[in-house]
Structure 1
């Protein structure tokens, strides 16, 4: 199967996602089947240069692809985001040998990629310290620590990115670790209330030995601000797709008895469209590298749009929304919408970072 770069999914994948969305959400699905299904549609190659095995296009095209998947299943889109974010790290890495070694299996969906950098993004904002430490061992490093929440840790094989602090006072750096690496272990899946087919677990790192061939970026503080727009921009695709799905369902169910909702439906739809344009334009112009606050505000605004859209779907659906009917989809979208504000960086964390920046500007003035 193939897809274009405007977020339209091939019929086979769309039907597959629609059929499996309830099971992906409640964890009764075959979670090994998801990654190959997305890869077969060519989704992981979108926004990856042709010279590196992709189909070209932009990061914005990848955002739209994630949004298209999120319209049918936020679990599938969440896995897609984690996998595609790891690919983005490899594209931005100066370690060409690592990219050439890892990228083909990731594009083919044969090996899962996990972002693992939620802790690092919070570290960059001063919210928390890095949770993995390194110590020098000859030509390499020994790593110890834990990542409490990582998605797409596929049981048949995965590779993840992690930010690492140095006991010797070297700059923190970014590494790629394979799930089969000695000293790396995965817990059982976290007991989530929804999105249980996302292979989300904790990682323990106990004496894992690496060398320069495993380093994605040698200086995390310099590299992270440059990849943060991709990390957060791709993540925004989750909100975009879920909001579109809820608004479409609300519109379809907005009978004449509920026509009073139409003005609000139009207003939320217009707001969403403007937010998408602002996101894609900012990514294309690389504006968010220097103006991270604008991206933070967009992420917050999109999370709010999701909540408004889901509530409109509830109001348009009436009592039917409260019936246990997996094919109706509202109960699943309601659970999915509850996850949007807490995905790292959470809305609360982003609001705190914006407040901190505003206070710093006020003091400087």
Structure 2
């Protein structure tokens, strides 16, 4: 794992001062996100260091899960290209995404639901002599900007689906900002309308997504888990801060920090074990279970923090209330908890 000292410095100096602005004013921490790549944390020239990348997401999430979520979106876009056989994307676009010159989004919320049997695909593609023409609309794609790229999956026919990465400034693509969420509004989330968008061959990640999806979905899920680990640890810290207030009456609450710490340690150990040996690539059910347990633990810890903090946590932009809203976002991030429960327990 890479030296994390510079990561801590980046977080303290470039992210922590912006957290209130991100939460209250929907500020998008674009320059901080680029600094992660510039510092070398995302370089895959000698192979993908999953443990480092998971750790980076976790450390950022302790301070601001909105920005950690943005990094997850970016890591998802890296995953698509890292697993592609497209030399243009791997030689020209991937290095810029890894070195902080460009940022990427995911665009696969709807397709992941499609492959779980929950939704139809929203994007349709027609084959042309030079690539494809794509039409349709994605209701929410995060970590977007004028010079960003993001992944899409579109249906060509009942038997074929393609995957591509698309620049946000592509002709025929219209982005509309979405800022009406309970939290995580600083995530640069947009609805994306495709009106005859030309997708040249050099943007194509895969012509056979039904097979390709199996390669990318493990990392897609793995990178989400540290979002919850970070928020959980920060929530435990918030509980510890007030354990001796009001005559120790917090001792009577049902959610206590020692219990949360034990559960967090168990999940964290298992997650890094899966990441270190890249076992997550072949242990899909175990990975889904870790993702589900993390979401539930994060919600319990954030709720517990609100109870322990009392009136101080009930302030609109307090750290405990922000983490509570972040925890609800994680519960509803694709794959959502109900999506995960369905995949883990398919027969009722």
TM-score of the alignment, normalized to the shorter chain, above 0.5: yes
Of residues 45, 54, 63, the one that matches 1:50 is 45
Alpha-carbon deviation of 1:73?
A: 0.4
Aligned match of 2:301: 309
Assess if the C-alpha contact under 8 Å between 2:14 and 2:32 holds in 1: no
Of residues 1, 15, 18, the one that matches 2:16 is 18
Cα gap change, 1:314 to 1:8, in 2 (>3 Å): farther
Alpha-carbon RMSD? 2.4
- 1:229-272 residue CA offsets vs partner (Å, 9 max, x unmatched): 10011011111111111111211221161345698311211111
Alpha-carbon deviation of 1:11?
A: 2.0
Cα gap change, 1:224 to 1:6, in 2 (>3 Å): farther
Local SS of the residue matching 2:345: helix
* Aligned counterparts of 2:35 and 2:4: Cα–Cα separation in 1: 19
Alpha-carbon deviation of 1:163?
A: 0.9
Of residues 177, 194, 199, the one that matches 2:188 is 199
* Aligned counterparts of 1:87 and 1:121: Cα–Cα separation in 2: 17
Assess if the C-alpha contact under 8 Å between 2:21 and 2:27 holds in 1: yes
1:347 aligns with 2:337: yes
Of residues 68, 81, 92, the one that matches 2:59 is 68
* Aligned counterparts of 1:332 and 1:42: Cα–Cα separation in 2: 30
Q: Compare 204-213 and 237-246 and name the one that shifted more.
A: 204-213
* Aligned counterparts of 1:6 and 1:302: Cα–Cα separation in 2: 23
* Aligned counterparts of 1:5 and 1:297: Cα–Cα separation in 2: 30
* Aligned counterparts of 1:323 and 1:137: Cα–Cα separation in 2: 55
Alpha-carbon deviation of 1:302?
A: 0.5
Alpha-carbon deviation of 1:41?
A: 4.0
Aligned match of 1:164: 154
Structure 1: which 5+ runs fail to align? 360-365
* Aligned counterparts of 1:213 and 1:236: Cα–Cα separation in 2: 32
Aligned match of 2:97: 106
Corresponding pairs, count: 345
- 1:51-104 residue CA offsets vs partner (Å, 9 max, x unmatched): 5xxxx6621221111010000001110111101111121111111221111123
- 1:255-299 residue CA offsets vs partner (Å, 9 max, x unmatched): 161345698311211111111222222234444444422222211
After the TM superposition, which residues 4-43 of structure 1 pair with which residues of structure 2 at under 5 Å, given as runs?
4=2, 9-29=7-27, 31-43=29-41
Aligned match of 2:270: 278
Alpha-carbon deviation of 1:205?
A: 1.0
Aligned match of 2:228: 239
After the TM superposition, which residues 102-251 of structure 1 pair with which residues of structure 2 at under 5 Å, given as runs?
102-154=93-145, 156-167=146-157, 169-251=158-240
Local SS of the residue matching 2:191: strand
Alpha-carbon deviation of 1:28?
A: 4.8
Aligned match of 1:362: none
Local SS of the residue matching 1:187: strand
Local SS of the residue matching 1:323: coil
Assess if the C-alpha contact under 8 Å between 1:36 and 1:110 holds in 2: yes
Structure 2: which 5+ runs fail to align? none
- 1:104-128 residue CA offsets vs partner (Å, 9 max, x unmatched): 3212333220011122211221221
Alpha-carbon deviation of 1:179?
A: 1.1
Cα gap change, 1:18 to 1:233, in 2 (>3 Å): same
Cα gap change, 1:227 to 1:5, in 2 (>3 Å): farther
* Aligned counterparts of 2:104 and 2:128: Cα–Cα separation in 1: 27
Assess if the C-alpha contact under 8 Å between 2:108 and 2:151 holds in 1: yes
Assess if the C-alpha contact under 8 Å between 1:13 and 1:41 holds in 2: no
Alpha-carbon deviation of 1:5?
A: 5.6
